[in-house]
């Protein structure tokens, strides 16, 4: 309850300072977003998953109250093709403008609320029941006008199926510039990198993290994958990357912390599809308070997680040397 109160206080009294603010899930629950939604007059939502009845009803109530509501949603999420159909039908029945994801992208995986064209929550989570039960997630409130303007413009372009070129240095967009910006941030690390990773399979990212670990950079990755046989994790471990599996919470967050100086937070997974084919948004923040909170949460989750050794299911077929060169030549 303390975290919710602190966030709401900051939300109403500090937004004009353009300082980023943070929601931590599942600790904060639905209250901060619902409060922001109820106090907005214009609501834009971009989401990959929408099944939580509380938020569906809140959007419908906002529309009935005379507010402007527009939803951009992925129609057929991966392996859950029908998940959003009920919400789409309910929202349209309430005369809410609903646009299905731009077919130019493999998936619309972005997770963002825009309120009154003046503030936006860039989220790592979908609006689903499980988000508020047992998933580690975050949402960053941003109020910087230049950042809000670009988020809104790209939202409008995606709704209209138009191409647009992003330019804001603090916003990372897939498929436009995410690979370049994330790799650049990682390669500029001096001492340590901490990562919440729901998914990790991109060869360039794996190769870069491994090379950094060999150079003496401390790299920690917290995940929830329950696999003993995992070539990518084995390769990372052999390079000196530390990995732990969270069992208390499902790691759905997509966060990178670098040198206590920079954090990347948003919808982008460290996978080829996420970097190269989906519509995604993450934000770079240099706010010391935000980075400090994220670091404390990571360290706490890290202490509660389990270390394990990974090995390759294909070791007898290919051997360690083959695996090493496979990643090496993709750096």
Is the pLDDT at 330 greater than 80? The verdict is: no
Q: Give residue-wise pLDDT tens across range 256-295.
A: 999 999 999 999 999 999 999 999 999 999 999 999 999 9
Q: State how far the Cα of 74 lies from the Cα of 78, in Å rounded to an integer.
A: 10
More confident residue, 314 or 104: 104
Among candidates 140, 36, 50, 56, which has minimal Cα distance to 101? 50
Question: What mean pLDDT is reported for the chain?
Answer: 89
Mean pLDDT of 294-309: 94
pLDDT band at 323 (very low <50, low <70, confident <90, very high): very low
Name the least confident of 1-5, 222-226, 227-231, 235-239.
1-5
Is the pLDDT at 73 greater than 90? The verdict is: yes
Name the least confident of 76-80, 99-103, 115-119, 121-125.
76-80
Tokens, residue 115: 């309120």
Is the pLDDT at 18 greater than 70? The verdict is: no
Q: State how far the Cα of 247 lies from the Cα of 168, in Å rounded to an integer.
A: 37
Tokens, residue 175: 């498929």
Q: State how far the Cα of 260 lies from the Cα of 291, in Å rounded to an integer.
A: 6
Q: What is the pLDDT of residue 20?
A: 66
Mean pLDDT of 156-179: 98
Mean pLDDT of 225-232: 76
* C-alpha dihedral sign at 18, 114, 179, 206: positive
Enter the pTM of the model: 0.89
Is the pLDDT at 24 greater than 80? The verdict is: yes
Is the pLDDT at 11 greater than 80? The verdict is: no
% of the chain surpassing 90 pLDDT: 82
pLDDT band at 19 (very low <50, low <70, confident <90, very high): low
99 forms beta bridges with 72
Query: With contact defined as beta carbons under 8 Å apart, do 184 and 256 qualify?
Result: no
Is the pLDDT at 314 greater than 60? The verdict is: no
Tokens, residue 249: 């919470």
Q: What is the pLDDT of residue 10?
A: 44
Q: State how far the Cα of 60 lies from the Cα of 19, in Å rounded to an integer.
A: 30
Mean pLDDT of 138-164: 97
Is the pLDDT at 8 greater than 60? The verdict is: no
Q: State how far the Cα of 164 lies from the Cα of 216, in Å rounded to an integer.
A: 39
Q: What is the pLDDT of residue 308?
A: 80
Among candidates 124, 21, 127, 23, which has minimal Cα distance to 71? 127
Q: State how far the Cα of 265 lies from the Cα of 206, in Å rounded to an integer.
A: 19
Is the pLDDT at 109 greater than 60? The verdict is: yes
Is the pLDDT at 153 greater than 50? The verdict is: yes
What are the structural domains, with CATH classification, of the chain?
2-164 (3.30.870.10), 173-328 (3.30.870.10)
Is the pLDDT at 317 greater than 60? The verdict is: no
Mean pLDDT of 142-149: 97
């Amino acid at each position: 309850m303390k975290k919710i109160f602190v966030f709401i206080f900051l939300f109403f009294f500090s937004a004009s300072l353009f300082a980023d603010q943070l929601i931590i899930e599942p600790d904060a629950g639905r209250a901060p977003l619902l409060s922001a939604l109820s106090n907005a007059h214009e609501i834009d939502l971009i989401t990959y998953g929408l099944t939580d009845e509380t938020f569906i009803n809140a959007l419908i109530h906002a529309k009935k109250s005379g507010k402007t509501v527009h939803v951009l949603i992925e129609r057929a999420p991966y392996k859950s093709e029908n998940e959003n159909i009920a919400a789409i039908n309910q929202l349209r029945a309430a005369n809410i403008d609903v646009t299905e994801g731009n077919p130019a992208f493999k998936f619309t995986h972005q997770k963002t609320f825009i309120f009154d064209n003046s503030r936006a929550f860039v989220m790592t989570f979908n609006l689903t029941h499980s988000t508020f039960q047992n998933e580690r997630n975050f949402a960053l409130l941003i109020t910087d006008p230049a950042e809000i303007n670009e988020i809104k413009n790209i939202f409008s372009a995606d709704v209209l199926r138009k191409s647009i070129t992003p330019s804001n240095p603090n916003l990372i967009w897939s498929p436009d510039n995410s690979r370049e910006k994330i790799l650049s941030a990682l390669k500029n690390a001096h001492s340590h990198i901490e990562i919440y990773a729901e998914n990790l399979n991109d060869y360039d990212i794996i190769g870069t993290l491994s090379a950094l670990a060999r150079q003496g950079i401390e790299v920690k990755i917290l995940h929830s994958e329950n696999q003993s046989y995992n070539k990518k994790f084995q390769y990372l471990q052999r390079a000196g990357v530390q990995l732990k599996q969270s069992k208390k919470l499902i790691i759905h967050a997509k966060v990178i912390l670098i040198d206590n100086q920079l954090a990347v937070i948003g919808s982008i997974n460290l996978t080829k599809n996420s970097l190269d084919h989906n519509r995604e948004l993450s934000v770079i923040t240099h706010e010391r308070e935000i980075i400090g909170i994220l670091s404390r949460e990571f360290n706490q989750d890290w202490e509660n997680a389990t270390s394990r050794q990974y090995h390759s299911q294909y070791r007898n077929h290919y051997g360690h040397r083959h695996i090493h060169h496979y990643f090496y030549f993709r750096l």
